[in-house]
Structure 1
Amino acid sequence: MRHIQRIHINVKSFICPNCAKSFKDNDTLQTHIKYIHECERNFCCRECEKTFVSSSDLNRHTQMVHMNLRRFLCSTCGKTFHTSSNAKRHFDEVCGKKEKKNGNS
């Protein structure tokens, strides 16, 4: 029964005592507590002094915020975005709707 509840039913009965966020299992809760509430943030941005848990998070921040790196291109209008999810959202909400309206889909 525990397997069914944990894997197949979206029951989140493990509650974080710090922020009340809920999780399916204790392992996920403990990981959350470790990285969100107890984590040492050893990676500091030289530009704005914001701190990060990992070097990859710091690098992503630096590229997006300080270097204004936009690697994701809308093939319809040429607009660029920091993340693929932002590019997809733009297409779904703007260019994709225009194409459907104009009968190009």
Structure 2
Amino acid sequence: MLILTYIDFNSFIIFVFFVLLILASFLINNEGKISKSYICPKCGKKYKHQPSLCNHRRYECGVLPQFRCRMCNRLFSRSHRLRTHIMISHNKTYHHTSN
């Protein structure tokens, strides 16, 4: 017959609690029901990763677009969006030249 002392029983309860806590944390994070998000303080836009929020704040939020299409004068906040626009809308390749 197994007899647990008071200390062993408390240690066991603490161990079970931490195992359940870690398991619950793992399940919540991997199912995406509750996830950490980074929110822009200016516009409230949410991002899953902090570098994405940093890029948003640096290039998009409250910043005028600085990349202009020379064919249709449309403005873009990021150079890769301009390149994609030129390839899709104008069926050409993008060649960067300084202004």
* Rg comparison, structure with higher value: 2
TM range (shorter): 0.3 to 0.5
Q: What TM-score, normalized by structure 1, do the two folds share? A: 0.41
Q: What TM-score, normalized by structure 2, do the two folds share? A: 0.43
